[in-house]
Structure 1
Amino acid sequence: MLHIKLPVHLYIFIFFSTLCSYNFYWLLSAYAFSGQSVSIVVKRHWSNVIIFGIAVAGLIISLPHITSLLPVIGVGLILTLLYTIPLLPFKIFHIARRAGLLKTFLLALTWTFVTVYIPYKQAPTGNLTTLAMLFANRFLFMLMLCIIFDARDTNVDKIRGLQSLTTLIKPGTVQYIMVVIFAAYIVNGIPLRIYYDEPMQVIPLLITGIVTAMVYFFSLKKQGYFFYYFLVDGLMLFSALATYVASI
């Protein structure tokens, strides 16, 4: 929506950083809660190890082409590492497992930072007010997705001693929170798009919001792997495609 032309290496970097962080978190989680040695975890989850290695190689290859963004990339790396602290196999860090709401908000903040602020720093445009509105709009969208995943993991998180928004708050209250976030997402998004003289962008905003609300409604019942990793995660791609189509 900012009409920023980004270098292909930045797209490549974000793609591989996503693969890298996801598989790193997954492997660290498998090690932290399985009670197995590193070698056994590596053998059992060799495919994740291979993908992680490929992702690291992709990062190393693309990074020299976007050196001007190293400071903000460093901030993104710190946010990612903060999210993994509760999984570290040291008792001193176990207090982070009681961080509660921070877990949910930190993940939404990390995704927002990577998909909004890093591209913005590549070619700054507009003013800080509109950047803040765009950042807030993306954050609200990502927060809805994070809450959907948190709700799925509630029982497992309780067993593991991990706190999140859905382990601390009753399901009925979480639903009210989702309604408030959805309303804020729409109320923030419409004037933002009108300000950028992009009234057509209101359509993908509403469609993305409605589809996300529908996905949340279906998530209230037990769903499988496909639902979460293709439909819920796919909402990020859906949002991007809808925005792109409306800009043609």
Structure 2
Amino acid sequence: MSSARPTASVSAPLPTPSRVRSTLDAVLYSSTWLALAALGLTWATFLFWQVQIPWRLGTMIFTATLFLYNLDSVLPYKHSQPVALSGRKSWMRTHRRSLFLLAMVALAVAGSLFLWDGWQHLIGFIGHLAVISLLYSLPIVKVHGRWWALRDFPLLKVFLIAYVWAAVTVWIPALYLHRPLLEPVVLVLFARRFLFILALAFVFDIRDYSKDRLIGTRTFPGVFGVRATKLVALAALVGAALLVPIGMPVHHQTVYLLPLLLAAGVIWFADESRSDYYFALLADGVMVVQFLVVWVASMFLV
């Protein structure tokens, strides 16, 4: 007669704080979180029209965002700027080769999907967004002995960011659904998204306040001060709240205010001394909340 031996239960080891932090850093600083935000905002536009986002288009938006932002993070001149390294910048410098490889893989995927779905007939429209995105950080003209990218022109960079993000996340879905870009509802959605992204873009100008002043980039905080910049950003959010598409139910309008209120809090408490996580996780996370709110409204609020 055999006796059964008790077996010790083996449980998977809990992740250590350092491992959790390493994973979080990788998600945030590789622009994966930001690419998810771009996908979410594009998806939210489709949900407004009660259409599910096509997976190939969603993947193209996600990977194109990964490519552009990781390419920006590995540009040689950015690593030679005379500024103190934050935890984010140190991580990017350490993983520079991996970020470049990720950018190239993302470009291959985005380019393949672009050709697969037959977007070639819109090469002019999508091309101008790509040109703005690339020249945003690539030096194009020499001014007073220093090479300038589009972002270095005084007060311009927040408007470029807002325009490209609004165009990608509103106009591309509209084009996919064969809706005219000048249709009133499309214009309202574009303007609302533009002002929402513009408000959040000011947060990153506040984060880079000292760095931009050191390298000579004139941004809103550097010209008008941090407090005035916050007031302009909050005014942009108010403008976004007032732009309500015709026919949107009142209960949807109320729920859609939540991301704007969260963005207002992030803006008001923004300071360059705050942790990198404040900006990378919270400020970009407001865009993810925007998607979640629209998704919940489309699923549960009729």
* 1:124-203 correspondence to structure 2 within 5 Å: 124-125=178-179, 128-188=183-243, 191-192=244-245, 195-203=246-254
Greater share of helix residues, 1 or 2?
Answer: 1
AA partner of residue 75 (structure 1): H
* 1:13-162 correspondence to structure 2 within 5 Å: 13-28=60-75, 30-34=76-80, 45-68=96-119, 69-86=122-139, 93-94=147-148, 96=150, 98-125=152-179, 128-162=183-217
Change (3 A) 1:178 1:92: closer
Measured after TM superposition, the shift of residue 242 of structure 1 is 0.6
Cα-to-partner distance string for 1:168-220 (whole Å, 9 max, x where unaligned): 211222122123212111111xx32xx13333321332111111111112213
| Contact kept in structure 2, 1:85 and 1:93, CA below 8 Å | no
Measured after TM superposition, the shift of residue 97 of structure 1 is 5.9
Higher mean C-alpha deviation, range 160-169 or range 80-89: 80-89
SS in 1 for 2:137: helix
Cα-to-partner distance string for 1:99-133 (whole Å, 9 max, x where unaligned): 11111111111111111111111013476222111
Measured after TM superposition, the shift of residue 98 of structure 1 is 4.7
* 1:232-247 correspondence to structure 2 within 5 Å: 232-247=283-298
Higher mean C-alpha deviation, range 116-125 or range 147-156: 116-125
2-structure distance, mates of 1:105, 1:187: 20
1-structure distance, mates of 2:152, 2:238: 29
Partner in structure 2 of residue 38 of structure 1:
none
AA partner of residue 174 (structure 2): Y
| Contact kept in structure 1, 2:163 and 2:194, CA below 8 Å | yes
Cα-to-partner distance string for 1:66-86 (whole Å, 9 max, x where unaligned): 223433321221221231244
1-structure distance, mates of 2:79, 2:94: 16
Q: Percent identity?
A: 26
Higher mean C-alpha deviation, range 103-112 or range 219-228: 219-228
Change (3 A) 1:17 1:61: same
Please list every run of 5 or more consecutive structure 1 residues that lacks an aligned counterpart in the other structure.
Answer: 36-40
Q: Alignment RMSD, CA only?
A: 2.7
Tell me the number of residue pairs that the alignment of Structure 1 and Structure 2 aligns: 239
The TM-score with structure 1 as length reference comes to 0.85
Cα-to-partner distance string for 1:38-68 (whole Å, 9 max, x where unaligned): xxx9986112112112211211331222223
| Contact kept in structure 2, 1:105 and 1:143, CA below 8 Å | yes
1-structure distance, mates of 2:148, 2:242: 39
